Amino acid sequence: MCKLKQLKRDKTEVLNWREERKLRAIELKMQGWTHREIAQEIGITESGVSHLLSRAKRQPPRLQNGKVISKETILVWDVLRHKEWTQSELAREMNLTDRTVRHWVSGTRKPDANKLETLKQLLLSSKR
């Protein structure tokens, strides 16, 4: 029984690592990185990046609970990380409630088109 549990845990760790790599490649692509730059960043070949991104289109990355991570959620995460803001700070900046941003971060709701545009502008301004 112990060997079976260990095999399951090892498989879960490998899957989580692969999902993290796929998620990182998607994040970098959304930020405008080239396949060459992404390959150097995550330590795989350019063709590996192409394969990873095309596979991600067919099978999006998932959280450990099995929930699919949307592009909108990744965008919100990127803004928080690049601006080094808390969810509350992002909510204040966009004149929203903390609860709304919390829903975006958890993926239970998505920002509307206007809010997405504002998030994109915030992300672009953090890179200058």
**Residue in this structure with the two tokens 């399951």, named with its chain if needed:** 8
- Interatomic CA distance for residues 116 and 114, integer angstroms: 5
Q: What is the rounded average pLDDT of the residues 2-27?
A: 62
On the question of pLDDT at 96 being above 90, the answer is yes
On the question of pLDDT at 73 being above 60, the answer is yes
Q: Is the dihedral of CA 97, 101, 103, 104 positive or negative?
A: positive
Q: What is the dihedral of CA 113, 114, 115, 118, to 10 degrees?
A: 120
**Residue in this structure with the two tokens 């999902």, named with its chain if needed:** 19
pLDDT value for 24? 83
Q: What would the pLDDT profile of 31-41 be if each residue is shown by its tens digit?
A: 788 999 999 98
Task: Give residue limits of the domains in the chain.
Answer: 2-58, 71-126
Amino acid, single-letter form, for residue 79: V
On the question of pLDDT at 14 being above 70, the answer is no
pLDDT band at 63 (very low <50, low <70, confident <90, very high): low
Question: 93 and 122 in contact (C-beta within 8 Å)?
Answer: yes
On the question of pLDDT at 124 being above 70, the answer is yes
